[in-house]
Amino acid sequence: MPRTVHAVCSHDCPDSCGVLITIDETGRATRLRGDPSHPVTRGFLCGKVAKYLDRVYSPDRLLYPMRRRAGVPKTSLPHGREAESFERISWDEALDTIAARLAAIARDHGPESILPYSYAGTIGVLGYGSMDRRFFHRLGASQLDRTICSETGGQALISVYGRKLGTDPEAFPNAKLIIAWAANIHGNNIHLWPFVEEARRNGAKLVVIDPYATRTARAADWHIPINPGTDSALALGLMHIIVRDRLFDQDYVARWTCGFDQLRERIAEYPPDYVSSLTGISVADIERLARDYATTTPAVIRLNYGVQRSDNGGAATRAIAMLPALTGAWKHYGGGLQLSTSGAFRWDKATIERPDLMEASPLGREARVVNMSVLGGALTELGSKRDDGPRVHALFVYNSNPAAIAPDQASVLRGLSRPDLFTVVHEQFFTDTADYADVVLPATTFFEHKDIQGAYGHYYVQLSEQAIEPLGEARPNVWLFSQLAQRMGFTEPCFRDTPDDLIAQALRSSHPDQQHPWFAGITPETLQAAGGSQRLRLEEDQDKQPFLPFAEGPFETPSGRIEFYSATLAAQGVDPLPAFRPAPESRHTAAHERYPLEFLPRKGDNYMNSTFPNLPGHRAMESAFNGVLEMHADDATSRGIADGDTVDVFNDRGSIALRAHVNGGVRLGVVAARLNWNKLSAGGHNVNLLTSQRLNDIGGGPVFYSVLVDVRKASASTPKAI
């Protein structure tokens, strides 16, 4: 008889869908669907994960450990023929080789010369960060500052509210005005869409603020195409009008916020005409948006991480996050703001990650911290100055594909090509990064291992059961680092914890008295009995009181109030109030004379960052955008470019070949293209050849969306666009 197992989609997506997997008598998964009983998944999956059997059972899966053949140089490899550069080895040999090399490197250069590199290939609690963290802490390896995605926005939100909480997606149908601010709901967060549609059926209006005409923007009541990187100015300008016209909630501001007087002085500097000149939005539209926002109840902002991927992104996130504090929108069910809900899941991180193990390491202290957004610099420059610690001699990559997703790709690839760098890559496929590995290890998918997961777009905890046996010799992250710890001779019992032990520790379920009240009553057993998913206990009485995260204080900030003015940021040398500052690569600076086009190197709607482009079915779904540069007609005409022409897109960091799509989703002065694998791109490089290693204003995040380029019709030497 076929059976059904509850799992959780572990991709880095706010929706964290409940997934029901059907398994036949032979143990093979034959079907998957969205869990119909999950109130946010509502029985459907996005297009890319609906086709997940293609991924799990792809003939291209990595199934065995492999070692680079002697003498083969480190370089990008042709898709489908990568294995020719490697030879199969046993797990025993792979683990012994890695343990011996890491031990030798730690002895010769110090353990900080070993750098783990991981991000969110899986956001399961165990797979994302548990046994791996224990292992690298005990080793004394460098710590990785995981800034590549949401650190800036997260820190910015916390600086205002003290915690990453937001409006419940299930409250959205109550809203009367929804602003999707840098939020591609259709592409990146599809399970919010039915709630938005329900609100609209009840009379709500949807406004989208995005420089690019996403599908969400095209479906909206009002699309406001803003100049990239100018959102701080718009938010400050909206606050200017709201205060000028006394449309703010004086009682809420007086009771729950601090720094209003300083904010009032700051926003005086942002009158509508000045804001209009920066943002490219007319004064009339700015006035109308401010009035609509402040006078419609409930009003909610779905803010996503697009705004914080630029130099001024921290300040922009702070300024936008302050809007509902000014209007008191938090008091109303369906009002407020959602950037992330992840702060509601109070996992016991100290126990699952064990940072205390650094003291037991040969280092005997906290290891240095390396920012993942400057991987290129870390691999090519670290160790060249006296005080920055040792050069990186070993790189251990898992849950990530930095050769494709990290900025300033030329520098990343220069680092990865170093013959003296020992690189291990634990992966499901032969990615652009695996091409450069000394040892490649096969990883499981979420069908093949057990985990527990929260979400950053809803408030349900879910158990992800193992549905099928691992394919080939693929192994989960927890298994890998537990085995390696034992080969390295680490005797602490925590290295023998099983996935079930780790799940219980994450929830503190063996010690109900120590559980956070929001986890109360949630254990692996109750989760199982509930079909795999349970809502956090956010409401004291689930029937009567809807969850309003910031309706009233105290707040978890240093002052206990919502902080318009942040003394914490001031102490770090950061402007304690939001301000607009032009990005070095933008239309507001001199660099624009040389490179007059603002470039948006976007995510694919049918991919997950660099995950999926290697699968033919997914590539077909994204075919309208693969290898394509979207341009405004006037920018094309003035350069003699016609629709379909191959073009060079270039700046000082490099040049890539794309096919022009004239009249794409962009306005004059902006061009856009999408992430892909390097080896599936013309010339062997994707959009990140053009992005910069500059860091932004809060938290050291990358500036993917602050890039200047120019475009010219291809010359004879341009690789043919594919």
Ligand X SMILES: Nc1nc2c(c(=O)[nH]1)N[C@H]1C(S)=C(S)[C@@H](COP(=O)(O)OP(=O)(O)OC[C@H]3O[C@@H](n4cnc5c(=O)[nH]c(N)nc54)[C@H](O)[C@@H]3O)O[C@H]1N2
Write out the residues near ligand X by the rule CB under 6 A. 12-13, 119-122, 127, 148-150, 181-184, 187-188, 209-212, 214, 226, 228-229, 231, 304-307, 310, 398-401, 405, 426-429, 431, 443, 477, 600-605, 607-611, 675, 687-688, 691, 704-705
- Residue among 5, 6, 7, 17 that touches ligand SF4 (CB under 6 A): 17
Contact partner at residue 453 from Mo ion, ligand SF4, ligand X, none, CB < 5 to 8 Å by partner kind: none
Contact partner at residue 9 from ligand SF4, Mo ion, ligand X, none, CB < 5 to 8 Å by partner kind: ligand SF4
Between the two ends of the chain, the Cα-to-Cα distance in Å is 46
| Contact status: 15 vs ligand SF4 (CB under 6 A) | yes
Query: What DSSP line would sit under 159-186, residue for residue?
Result: HHHSS-----GGGGGG-SEEEEES--HH
Task: Give the Å distances, CA to CA, from 403 to 56, 119, 171, 682.
Answer: 23, 13, 40, 16
Contact partner at residue 190 from ligand X, Mo ion, ligand SF4, none, CB < 5 to 8 Å by partner kind: ligand SF4
In the region spanning residues 175 to 214, those forming contacts with ligand SF4, defined by CB under 6 A, are: 190-191
Q: How far is the CB of 525 from ligand SF4 (least distance, A)?
A: 25
Query: What DSSP line would sit under 387-412, residue for residue?
Result: TS-PPP-EEEEES--HHHHSSSHHHH
Contact partner at residue 17 from ligand X, ligand SF4, Mo ion, none, CB < 5 to 8 Å by partner kind: ligand SF4
Q: How far is the CB of 145 from Mo ion (least distance, A)?
A: 15
| Contact status: 7 vs ligand SF4 (CB under 6 A) | no
Q: Which two tokens stand for residue 111?
A: 């353990």
Q: Are 109 and 330 in contact (CB under 8 A)?
A: no
Q: Which stretch binds Mo ion (CB under 5 A): 32-40, 148-156, 429-437, 555-563?
A: 148-156
Do you know the residue count of the chain? 722
Q: What letter represents residue 312's amino acid?
A: N
**Residue 42: strand, helix, or coil:** coil
Inter-axis angle of helices 477-487 and 91-109, nearest 10:
60
| Contact status: 597 vs ligand SF4 (CB under 6 A) | no
Q: How far is the CB of 232 from ligand X (least distance, A)?
A: 10
Q: Which two tokens stand for residue 169?
A: 């997606």
**Site size with ligand SF4, rule: CB under 6 A:** 11
- Select the residue whose beta carbon is closest to ligand X and give its number: 306
String marking each residue 29-68 x if it binds ligand SF4 according to CB under 6 A? ----------------xx--x-------------------
Name the region of 599 (left: φ>0; alpha: ψ -120 to 50; beta: rest).
Answer: beta
Alpha-carbon gap, residue 559 to 576, rounded angstroms: 14
Q: Which two tokens stand for residue 33?
A: 């669907």
40 versus 226: smaller Cβ distance to ligand X: 226
| Rounded (to 5) percent helix, strand, coil in the chain | 35, 20, 45
200 versus 223: smaller Cβ distance to ligand X: 223
Contact partner at residue 184 from ligand SF4, ligand X, Mo ion, none, CB < 5 to 8 Å by partner kind: ligand X
Count of beta carbons in the 10 Å neighbourhood of residue 242: 21
- Residue among 139, 149, 657, 658 that touches Mo ion (CB under 5 A): 149
Handedness of CA 498, 502, 505, 511 (dihedral sign): negative
- Residue among 6, 11, 318, 508 that touches ligand SF4 (CB under 6 A): 11
Chain residues that interact with ligand SF4, rule: CB under 6 A? 9, 11, 13, 15-17, 45-46, 49, 190-191
Chain residues that interact with Mo ion, rule: CB under 5 A? 149
